[in-house]
Amino acid sequence: MHASLRSESTVPGLGVYRDGGVLRIRFERPEKRNALSAEMRQALPGLIEAAGRDESVRAILLSGEGEHFCGGADIVAQNAGGERPRVGSLQRRLPQEAHRLIPALLEVQTPVVCAVRGHASGIGLHMALAADFCLAADSARFWEPFARRGFAADSGASWLLPRAFGLARAREMLLLGVEQSGAQAAACGAIHRALPGAELEGASEALVAELAGSATVAVGLMKWCLRQAQDASLEQALANEAFALELSSRSRDFREGLKAFQEKREPKFEGR
């Protein structure tokens, strides 16, 4: 990340940087393995949703400062001191925090890249799985801490893990707390790619730059089609594709793509 960029965030521990067409969201609590505070969990869904409405944002990059991506939710701070919350506190909070964040990542038509090193635990793991592309260091650790702490998982774990890792591995991870390395996650197709830690930043930057220079309308609609197809019939998937094709064929990028093909050159997409 360019050193000259200044964070737009007012939430402690959450860095938000604009760099051309890329919105960079960085977790900046390295002393806590970048565990998400309640304030961070409340702010993140709105940031993702706003990025989807902002036509200047063409790609989103999630990363963590220091040695780890995200160690999950900061439950120690959440339960430290003070009076116990009223009964039903979790049920009231989750729809506005963790349970709003994962759908936001899945549904935003702006492509999302996660760069993972060190631990991606709990909601950190779920963000990585909800991203369109997750690049991880070979040595990264994907872990579900819930059973080891005596409580059930949240933020889409039971939906995301079987789809990404398969049901057998999902059971091991959720019920037994078995970790998966970045290399193991890539080998079973749960994430996009694993690579040496020294190469992670460069590879992530190259990928997000490629996405930011892509045909944004078409890419967003194809992301939408893939998301809808997970629970749709073939007939509905075909109808969605016809809708997406109709919209994308009216974009300026479509016209540029055709012109570049005719002129035998690389297209220069504007994201419109």
The 10s digit of each residue's pLDDT in 198-218 is 999 999 999 999 999 999 999
pLDDT of residue 149: 86
Closest to 132 in 3D by CA, of 67, 270, 225, 267? 225
Q: Which residues pair with 63 in a beta bridge?
A: 26
With H, G, I as helix, E, B as strand and everything else as coil, classify residue 91: helix
Assess whether 162 and 236 both reside in one domain.
no
Assess whether 74 and 181 both reside in one domain.
yes
Q: Which helix (H) or strand (E) holds 143?
A: strand 141-143
Phi/psi of residue 180, nearest 5 degrees = -125, 135
Query: What's CA 129's distance to the chain center, in Å?
Result: 7
Closest to 185 in 3D by CA, of 141, 221, 150? 141
Query: What's CA 200's distance to the chain center, in Å?
Result: 16
pTM as predicted = 0.90
Check pLDDT > 60 for residue 86. Answer: no
Assess whether 69 and 175 both reside in one domain.
yes
Mean pLDDT within 50-75: 95
> Which pLDDT band, with edges at 50, 70 and 90, does 78 fall under?
low
Q: Which residues pair with 60 in a beta bridge?
A: 23, 112
**Secondary structure (DSSP) of 205-223:** HHHHHHHHTS-HHHHHHHH
**Residue 120 CB-density burial (10 A; 0-12 exposed, 13-18 middle, 19+ buried):** buried
Within-domain flag for 1: no
Residue type, 270: E
Assess whether 71 and 148 both reside in one domain.
yes
pLDDT of residue 235: 96
pLDDT of residue 87: 46
Mean pLDDT within 253-271: 93
Choose between 94 and 227: higher pLDDT.
227
What is the total count of domains within the chain? 2
Q: Which helix (H) or strand (E) holds 113?
A: strand 112-116
Q: Which domain holds residue 253?
A: 216-262
Check pLDDT > 50 for residue 88. Answer: no
Instruction: Specify whether the CB–CB gap between 131 and 113 falls below 8 A.
Output: yes
Assess whether 91 and 135 both reside in one domain.
yes
Within-domain flag for 160: yes
With H, G, I as helix, E, B as strand and everything else as coil, classify residue 18: strand
Check pLDDT > 80 for residue 95. Answer: no
* Mean of all residue pLDDT scores within the chain: 91
Within-domain flag for 182: yes
Choose between 95 and 186: higher pLDDT.
186
Assess whether 159 and 243 both reside in one domain.
no
Torsion sign over Cα 175, 177, 182, 183: negative
Check pLDDT > 60 for residue 180. Answer: yes
Check pLDDT > 50 for residue 102. Answer: yes
